[in-house]
Amino acid sequence: MNKSYILLLVVLIIIAGAIIWMQPSSAPTTEREIKTEEVKEPENGARKFLNRIKTDTALNFSDIEDIELSWTVKTQEETKNPIFQGRKIEIKGVLKETEEQINSYFKNIGFDISEDNAATGSISWATGYQKDNLICAVAVGLWLDENELPFKTGERDVAIACAIVEDTGENGDIEY
C-alpha cells in the first residue's frame, strides 16, 4: 500500500506538471516588457530619424511623441491633404540661430524643400522637407507676451514632425 500511494503521488505530480507546461504563455508581466512590445517600427522609421537628429544636433529636444502629420500634395488635377501616422520632437525657448541650425541640418543631409508644405505667418511658419519616402515638417512659433507681440529676445519653439510614406512614385514624389 505504501508503494501504490507513492506511485499515485508521482503520477499526480507528472500530470500537474504537464498541465502547467501546456498552458499558453501569459502576457508580459512588467511595464517595461509591455512598452517594448508596443514600440515596434521599421529600422528606417521616423523614430530612428528623430533620434538621429537629437544625437547629431546635441540640442535639448523633448521625448518623441506619436502624432498625425498632414501633408499637402498638389497634382495637375487637385490638391490632397493626406494624414500620416508619424512622430514629433520639439524644443522650446530657442533663438533664431538654433532654428537656422535645424533647417541647415535638413539641407546638409540631402532633404529637398517641399514648396507645397511651407507656410508663413506673422508669428509662426513651417517648412516641409522630403527625402525618399521620409517627410518632415519643421514648424516654428515665436513666444508672445501678454499683448500678443513677440518677446524682444526672439525666443521661439521649434517642432519637427516626420512620417514614412509608403507610396512614392518613380521620381520620389508622393503618389495617391
Neighbours of 81 (CB within 10 A): 10
Cell numbers at residue 5, please? 500511494
Predicted model pTM: 0.67
Task: Read off the pLDDT of each residue in 54-76 and give the average, rounded to a whole number.
Answer: 90
Q: Tell me the three cell numbers of residue 97.
A: 540661430
For 146-168, the pLDDT digits (tens) are 676 666 677 888 999 999 987 54
Q: What are the domain boundaries of the chain?
A: 39-164
Rounded mean pLDDT, 75-83: 84
Name which of 31-40, 70-79, 83-92 the model is least confident about. 31-40
Q: Predicted confidence band at 137 (pLDDT cuts at 50, 70, 90)?
A: very high
Q: Does the pLDDT of residue 43 top 90, yes or no? A: no
Q: Where are the beta strands (DSSP E) in the chain?
A: 65-70, 73-74, 79-80, 83-94, 112-119, 124-131, 134-142, 156-164
Q: 112-135, pLDDT tens digit by residue?
A: 998 888 776 555 688 999 999 999
**Lowest model confidence (mean pLDDT) among 6-15, 81-90, 136-145:** 6-15
Chain-centroid distance, C-alpha 53: 12
